[in-house]
Amino acid sequence: MENYFHLHLPEDEIRAISSVGLAHLGDAVYELLVRSWLCAHGKATGKGLHRAAVELVRAESQAERSEKILPLLTEEELTVFRRGRNAHVHSIPHSASRAQYLQATALECLLGDLYLRGELERINQLFRIMMEE
């Protein structure tokens, strides 16, 4: 039986997933990390908690935070990041520029890829850097 909290898919199976599919999964990974971070840091409660989460997961914020980790990515991670940035997305929210949205998609693609590889410690390391003030 698969443990979906601790996946480790083979390289060929991960490569078969579209960049949009990886970003879809990475979006959920990022959302869970943000919500966990907010709760652990007591940053907000109730309605404020939701607003704080929305502020951190919006494309503009993701794009800005991804800039902090770009110099730290391995060649393999940069390849996945670029793959996500080049994804064929069809709708971009009004609150973000196309460049911001593609940068956020790239980050989500990377997180989805790392998650499927079982690289949870690497995800945590990158997330902590992104959240540094």
Active site residue ranges? 27
- Distance between CA atoms of residues 46 and 48, nearest Å: 5
Token pair for 54: 């929305």
114: phi > 0 → left, psi -120 to 50 → alpha, else beta; which? alpha
- Distance between CA atoms of residues 114 and 44, nearest Å: 29
Cβ-contact 34, 104 below 8 angstroms = no
Cβ-contact 92, 100 below 8 angstroms = no
By C-alpha distance, which of 128, 129, 87 is closest to 105? 87
